[in-house]
A = this chain, B = another copy of it.
Amino acid sequence: MSNLIPPHGGKGLTCCLLEGAELEAEKKKAAGLKQIPITPRAKGDLIMMGIGGFSPLTGFMTKADWKGVCDNYLIADGTFWPIPVTFDVSRADADAIKEGDEIALVDPQTNVVMATMKVTEKYEMSEDEKKYECEKVFMGEGTPSADEFWKIAKDDHPGVQMVMNQKEFNLAGPVKVLSEAEYPEKYKGIYQRPEESRKIFDDRGWKEVAALQLRNPMHRSHEYLAKIAVEVCDGVFIHSLVGNLKPGDIPADVRVKCIDVLVKNYFVEDKVVQGGYPLDMRYAGPREGLLHATFRQNYGCSRMIIGRDHAGVGDFYGMFEAQTIFDKIPAPEEPGKALLCTPLKIDWTFYCHKCDGMASLRTCPHGKEDRVLLDRKSTRLSLRHHAPEAPLRGR
């Protein structure tokens, strides 16, 4: 009997990844289906649906789902979901597909058929509708107006660009996932399915597990967040994005090794589990914080650590909008369809010489001159200014 939080949506882990003979048969069938190329975002979404990470989703969203998620954080059946998970195709492809068709979804970089899909709905997405989605999903509370938002977002918001670059039509319908791509092999021991992380947590007898979202190298602020979580929960799940990155970012395998060293030397090993998930960033700030909590619930986590500017980009969101949004989302009519994973909200953190350790704006009363802060935008330590005073670790 597991003590862990149940998967989101009340239907258990709704995995649609095929295995064994079923997989082989579906692969054969897929070879004869119309082949549709997919984006990296769709590839990650498919794998998450395959392994139950996106439970209860088992296919791409209908127009009604899309509208409900944009407007009320609810898919059409009344279940909480924070960000549209849609699949776009070109007008030419859409013209060749009719509702009821089965199609094969192909990763164009590897030519691997990632999934088959039974198309239940085909709907056009006008420019205005894409813009509507962007304003609903990506526009922070503090934005003075939609006009101001678009002035900056169209060039500087990678999430907005991703939506605006979608093709003219969306296809909805259930999927059967045929592959987890390179992840099980490339991130052996790190990439897990939710059933695997849940088994690890269960084997350790955990109940309250906090997830720490990482997409950058782990630094002392992350360590501090993780350690607060370890103090107040049964354990922490250091869960790294191992999907696609921007050019110039630190590769996931290097980040994973750095975390290993930190965990080995500065954590009690049996209070920490390291894992990786195959999504790309959407940079949706507050809404992405909610998405992070949603899929972490599926991985078995009851708390989602939300620090400052969670999943943010540039200046689009208020520093703590990804915290306050948890208190503002409307409650689904059925409690079982609500998001159950709650935020573990932590303030801006830093090293303080007077505190003689890590602290946050909630715990440190000292001045700027006493603090070693992370450069917010680059997430690089401002070593240039502070190194001479910074204390050494593990003296």
Residues of A at the B interface (CB closer than 8 Å) are: 227-228, 230-232, 265-269, 271, 344-347, 353-365, 391, 393-395
Contacts and interface: CB of A to CB of B under 8 A. Distances in A.
A353 B228 contact: no
Contacts of A358: 357
B393 A363 contact: no
A362 B395 contact: no
Contact of A269 (B230, B365, B395): B365
A231 B221 CA distance: 13
A368 to B, nearest CB: 14
B344 A268 contact: no
B271 A356 contact: no
A230 B395 CA distance: 29
30 contacts: A227-B359, A227-B363, A228-B228, A228-B231, A228-B232, A230-B362, A230-B363, A231-B346, A231-B347, A231-B360, A232-B345, A232-B346, A265-B365, A266-B355, A266-B365, A267-B363, A267-B365, A268-B361, A268-B362, A268-B363, A268-B364, A269-B365, A271-B363, A353-B395, A354-B393, A354-B394, A354-B395, A356-B394, A356-B395, A357-B357
A357 B395 CA distance: 12
B231 A268 contact: no
A136 to B, nearest CB: 29
A363 B357 CA distance: 14
A357 B227 CA distance: 12
Q: Which of A227, A267, A344, A363 gathers the greatest number of chain B CB atoms within 10 Å?
A: A363
Contact of A391 (B267, B346, B356): B356
Given A344-B232, A347-B231, A357-B357, A365 B268 contact: yes
A231 B271 contact: no
Contacts of A271: 362-363
Given A266-B355, A354-B395, 4 more contacts: A231-B347, A232-B346, A267-B363, A268-B364
A31 B361 CA distance: 56
Nearest to A358: B357
Contacts of A346: 231-232
Nearest to A265: B365
A271 to B, nearest CB: 6
A347 B361 CA distance: 24
Contacts of A354: 393-395
Report, nearest first, the 9 A-B pairs whose CB atoms are least far apart.
A357-B357, A227-B363, A268-B365, A230-B362, A228-B231, A230-B363, A354-B394, A232-B232, A356-B393
Q: Which of A231, A268, A358, A361 gathers the greatest number of chain B CB atoms within 10 Å?
A: A231
Contacts of A227: 359, 363
Contacts of A344: 232
A220 to B, nearest CB: 10
Contacts of A395: 353-354, 356
A248 to B, nearest CB: 31
Contacts of A267: 363, 365
Nearest to A360: B231
Contacts of A359: 227
A232 B268 CA distance: 21
A360 B231 CA distance: 8
A345 B208 CA distance: 12
A262 to B, nearest CB: 11
B393 A231 contact: no
Contacts of A265: 365
Q: Which of A227, A269, A347, A356 gathers the greatest number of chain B CB atoms within 10 Å?
A: A356
Nearest to A235: B362
